[in-house]
Amino acid sequence: MEKCLLCKKNDADATNSHIITWGLIKEAINRSGFKERDYETTYTISNFDIPKLYTGRSILPEHIEEILGYQPEDKQVTNNKDPLSRDNIFCDSCEIALGKIESEFIEKVYSKLIKQSFSNTSLDSRGNKVVELADYNSKLTKLLAYTLFFRTSLVKLNNITLNPKIHENIRLLVLSNLSDDNKILTANIKNLKEEEFIYPLVITYLETNADDENGKNVVIQNRSEFPYFILANRMIFQLFQKEKQVYSSIQNFYGLFKILNNRDYFSTIGDKVSIGIISNSNRSKLITTALHFLAEDNMENGKALLRKAFKLLVKRNPSEEEIGTFSYNYSQLFSQKLYGNIRELFFATFQFTFIKKPTVEELELLLKQ
C-alpha cells in the first residue's frame, strides 16, 4: 500500500477522504433537507467528459430516477464515484487529525459567520462588511485554508497543483501542528506564530439566504495560479505565492474584484485575518456570472464533441443552425445549475437532430475516439 501523502510514514489506509471540507460544501452537494454524509447528489462537468451524477449510498433509487429523468443502468451505478473524495491518500491518523482542524473551524468561525455573531466588524472601501478575527481564530482560519489548497493540490482537482515548494512548505506546517487530541490541537494553534504562514491569503464569506430559491452555491477550483482560487459554497479562498501578486493580479474571478478590493484586507505575513462579507444580492450575481463563465469556457469543447457525435452517428457535419441550438442548450446546462432533469438538459444537446437517439454507450464510445 502507498504511504500517506501527509505524514509519508503510515500506510494510506483512510477511505472517503473529502478533498474540500465537508462542513463547508454539504449545503451545495447534499440532497435538500439532509445534512449527513452519504446524501450527496453531485454533478461534475469537465472539458473532456459528459456530465456525471454521483449519489451517496443513502440516496434511494427512486430519487436518482427523479433527478435523471430515467432509471440509471447498472453500469452507471457501478461507476458511481464521488468526485470530491478519494481513497488511500491519507492514513487514518492524519485523516482524523485533519478532521479535527475542520471541525474546529466550523465551530469557531464558519458557524458564527452564518449566524453573523461576530461583533468585531468594520466596512471596507466599497462598503462591504469585514469581520476581523482574533489571534486564535485567525491562525485557525489560515491553517484550514492551507489544508484546503494542499488537499486539492494532492489530487490535482481541476488539474491544478500548487508550486512544489509551496506544496511541501504547507505540508510540513500542517503536519507539525496536527493532533487527534482537541486540547493538544488547540495548544498547537495558539503557539503558532503568524509569521509561519508565509503565503498571503484573501478569504471571503458569501451571505446566502436560506429561503432563496437560487441560494444553492457551487464548488469551483479555478484554473489559476495567481492566485490559487477555491470557491467552496459560502467561502472563497485565495492563496498568493507572494505579496506583490495581491497588487498585480489581473484575475477578475466572475466579477469578484468589482465587488471587493483585495488590497483592503488581504492577510499577509504576520497579519491577522479579516474576512470580507459579500451580501446575498452580490453573491447571487457572482454565482450566476461564474456559471455563465464556465459555460463559455467549455463551449468550444462542447462544439468539438458535437461535431464528433454527428460524424459518428449521422455521418455528416452539423449545420450552423444546429450548432447554435446546441450552444443554447449547452449554456442552459450551466445556467440552470443542473437543477431538474439532467437528461433533458444534457442529452438534448445531442439528441435534438438525431433520428436515432444516441444511447449512453454510444456517447461514451464517442468520448473515447
CA dihedral 37, 40, 44, 50 (to 10 degrees): 130
Report the alpha-carbon distance of residue 151 to residue 257 in Å, rounded. 26
Q: Which of 36, 39, 63, 68 has the alpha carbon at shortest distance from 52?
A: 68
CA angle 122, 126, 130 (to 5 degrees): 25
Paired strand residues for 206: 278
Report the alpha-carbon distance of residue 150 to residue 147 in Å, rounded. 5
CA dihedral 351, 290, 164, 17 (to 10 degrees): -70
Task: Give the pLDDT score at 28.
Answer: 60
Task: Give the pLDDT score at 291.
Answer: 73
CB distance 173 to 146 below 8 Å: yes
Task: Give the pLDDT score at 337.
Answer: 47
**Which pairing describes strands 274-278 and 201-206: parallel, antiparallel, or unpaired?**
parallel
CB distance 231 to 278 below 8 Å: no
Q: What is the pTM of this model?
A: 0.78
CB distance 202 to 262 below 8 Å: yes
DSSP code of residue 269: T
Q: Strands (DSSP E) along 159-302, which ranges?
A: 201-206, 219-222, 228-232, 235-239, 274-278
Provide the grid cell at 87.
481513497
Query: pLDDT 10s digit of each residue in the chain, 369 long?
Result: 899 999 999 999 998 898 888 888 776 654 454 444 454 455 454 444 444 544 444 444 554 455 444 455 555 444 556 667 789 999 999 999 999 999 999 999 999 999 999 988 899 999 999 999 999 999 999 999 999 999 999 988 777 899 999 999 999 999 999 999 999 999 999 999 989 999 999 999 999 886 654 456 777 777 788 899 998 889 999 999 988 888 776 677 888 988 988 888 777 667 889 999 999 999 988 988 887 776 676 667 667 777 877 777 778 888 888 788 777 766 665 555 444 444 444 555 555 555 456 666 666 566 555
Task: Give the pLDDT score at 189.
Answer: 97
Paired strand residues for 276: 130, 204
Q: Which of 369, 247, 239, 235 has the alpha carbon at shortest distance from 309?
A: 369
Task: Give the pLDDT score at 72.
Answer: 55
Paired strand residues for 130: 122, 276
Task: Give the pLDDT score at 79.
Answer: 52
Provide the grid cell at 57.
449510498
Q: What is the CA 189 to chain-centroid distance, rounded?
A: 26
